[in-house]
Amino acid sequence: MNQKSLKTLEYHKIINQLTEYAASPPGKMLCSALQPSSDYGEILQAQSETSDAVNRIRMKGSLSFSGVRDIRDSLKRLDVGSALSITELLSVSSLLTVAARAKAYGRHEESEDGGDDSLDEMFRSLEPLTPVNNEIKRCILSEEEISDDASPGLHKVRRSIKSINERIHTQLNSILNSSRSYLQDAVVTMRDGRYCLPVRSEYKNQVSGMIHDQSSTGSTLFVEPMAIIQLNNELRTLEIQENKEIEAVLAGLSNQLAPYTESLALNLEILARLDFIFAKAALSRHYKCSEPKFNQDGQIHIKDGRHPLLDPQKVVPITVWLGEAFDLLIVTGPNTGGKTVSLKTVGLFTLMGQSGLHIPAFEGSRLAVFDEVFADIGDEQSIEQSLSTFSAHMTNIVDILSKADSRSLCLFDELGAGTDPTEGAALAMAILNFLHNMKCRTMATTHYSELKIYALSNAGVENACCEFNVQTLRPTYRLLIGIPGKSNAFAISQKLGLPDYIIHDAKSRIESNDEAFEDIISRLEESRVTIEKEQDEIRSYKDEVARLKARLEQKEERFDEQKEKLIRSANEKAHQILRDAKETADRTIKNINKLAASSGVDTRALEAERSKLRENLKKVESGLSLKQDVRPRKAINPKTLRLGDGVKVLSLNLNGTISSLPDAKGNLFVQMGILRSQVNISDLELIQEPSAGGHAPGSHRKGSGSSNIKMSKSVSVSPEINLLGMTVDEAIPQLDKYLDDAYIAHLQQVRIVHGKGTGALRSGIHKHLKRVKTIKEFHLGEFGEGDAGVTIVIFK
């Protein structure tokens, strides 16, 4: 890729920002050396690595490479058998520590789905050499300190040094105390690595020893007392031994590293590469980039692209495509309207993408792989080379035309400018026509109307413009493909206060064809604005419809939930009402049975109980939210009634037979089991006579949610029930129904046949009988009654 285009498109500024995101010197070197590639497979691999790094940062957070050091010189020394210094060993340890951290970061969690990505192989290839690294950390505490435990010899020497130092200080303290008057200061100092005392010069003969130094004034002599000279000598000897032991420790650590020089070199290479890749990912996240999809067909489609070097708060995204229906795009419009930015955006995105960098554009943007990107943008005049603006541009264009081919992207800003407009327009058309015939992907900006007509009259060439708001005299920076632009010189001049008569004079000097063409462009622009407004309104209507639909669906969901809640609440209330009704009926029947069992039947008492039952049932009905329709389906003709006809008393929901014909008011008596009650004919409904062994229709209330109270069982109930062969779960419902019928039929006692067997059925039946309130007592049958295979039940 030619360096002139890289500079023109400001590619180096992107690389400088990328370098700042790298943490290690080797990683920064890779970032600085990054160049666009024209190899399709290499580009895809680089893009995949950047995307995978972005995903890892999003899932796991960032990975620090700050501890990576360039240890290549140290590795060469290891290869020749040299021992490394403390600093070099610490650099190796730092590299291995980062390698261990990176390897742990690269492992996939068990909960993570999906296969390997493009970075997994690099993470797996890292060798942290943990035992060697731990040994280095154990022996070397810092760049100035080796651990006492680095070796037994070093530990022994340092213990001896400590002992000698203590003896020296003891001696010196003794001399200090005894000769304080001879000393300048009561302190111990060091001279040439030996302990000395500051003695006044006039008392030098009073303190025996070796003089090592004197003060600048000569008033103080630094004397090593004779008593510690031997101790100081021993201390110096131990210090020499200590240095030898340290060198031995460093040599031992170097020997441990020597077999792993290839692994260390590989670690350095991989970590530098990973640092470089994660720097690309950090740049992608900073600019909110996406991975472009590459093709080799020369097709570019950038969706909402934002130039990365412009203020992100002010930059206007552009959408541009090239290489599908047309391979030459001519952009026109006023100055400062965004034409040059559009050119640079397309060129810079291509360079970034082919370098493996993501681009700040919408997901799904497409870029083509080009062998070369040529750009002629900006003022190229040179005083030193005696080149005018036109000459400088033409020199660059000549170079481009000599190198461009079908795998090139050519970008021209103000093509043909800087010379006579007629000749410049002709040159521009000839240059563009040559590139168009060469199948180059070309994008050019211009003010020449002739180029607009050229785009309209040639296949594979398209017009575009940068939108300009005449009302505000400001560009909108939107790139509109398919519409030629206007310079808007007259409108801008008029807004700025140029007299109308001058503008009219200027318009009169324009040829009629040019004026007609500009009018057509103006009408196209007006139509485009109108259509865009209408499209915006349609989109807003669609959004409003979608919102209303969503709100309606939410309301329907809430309605369904409330409906279910109300039905559930109603069912619960209905069940409670049914339980209350059943208890009321049970109490009333019990009272009626007691009255019937007494010595004389009191008709008034029975009628009072019946009236009380009716009142309670009416109260129950009033508690229902949906009251039942108790009107007869069909009115009964009194003349058609006969004694013994089957009827249903609607207010009591009981079946019975007519025992008297209606009087003048329509009142008559109905026999319901043992209950005989006076009712009105309007409260009755004829029912069909029951078939043999069956129940009368209507004896069950269907869909009402209430249960029936069966009162007419006195004839059909047997004094015995046979439960042989049933399980407990099968027998209990049958037994429950039978006991209710027998109790209502006023049977004093009944016989339950369950058999002997294992005793499980008998035990289950007895447990159930203990919970039945209507039973007075029960016992097993006696001799002649069935013994243990039968249970006798006596009702209350």
Q: pLDDT (tens digit, 9 = 90+) per residue, 499-515?
A: 888 878 877 766 555 55
* Other CB atoms within 10 Å distance of the CB of residue 284: 22
- Strands (E) located in 421-557: 441-446, 461-469, 474-481
Q: For residue 385, what pLDDT is reported?
A: 43
Q: Find out whether 375 and 5 touch, Cβ atoms under 8 Å.
A: yes
pLDDT score of 517: 55
Strands (E), 107-206: 140-142, 145-146, 189-191, 194-200
Task: Return the pLDDT at 596.
Answer: 62
502/496 Cα distance (integer angstroms): 13
* Side chain identity at residue 86, one-letter code: I
Neighbours of 40 (CB within 10 A): 13
| Residue 692: predicted pLDDT | 36
What is the DSSP-derived secondary structure letter of residue 359?
Answer: B
Burial of residue 746 (CB within 10 Å: 0-12, 13-18, 19+) is middle
Burial class (CB in 10 A: 0-12, 13-18, 19+), 24: buried
pLDDT of residue 569: 81
Residue 310, number of CB atoms within 10 A of its CB = 15
Distance CA(164)–CA(237), nearest Å, equals: 11
Q: Of all residues in the chain, what percent carry a pLDDT higher than 70?
A: 83
pLDDT at 180: 78
CA distance 19 to 36: 16
User: Is the CB of residue 408 less than 8 Å from the CB of residue 440?
Assistant: yes
pLDDT at 712: 45
Divide the 796 residues of the chain into consecutive groups of 10 and give the mean pLDDT of each group: 89 95 94 94 95 93 91 92 92 95 85 74 93 94 90 92 88 81 83 86 83 86 86 88 93 93 94 96 94 94 92 88 92 78 93 96 94 83 51 87 92 84 88 92 88 86 80 73 70 76 78 54 64 82 88 86 82 76 72 63 62 65 50 73 84 81 86 77 76 39 38 60 86 87 83 86 90 88 78 89
- Beta strands 366-368 and 328-332, pairing class: unpaired
Strands 328-332 and 461-469: parallel
**For residue 160, what pLDDT is reported?**
93
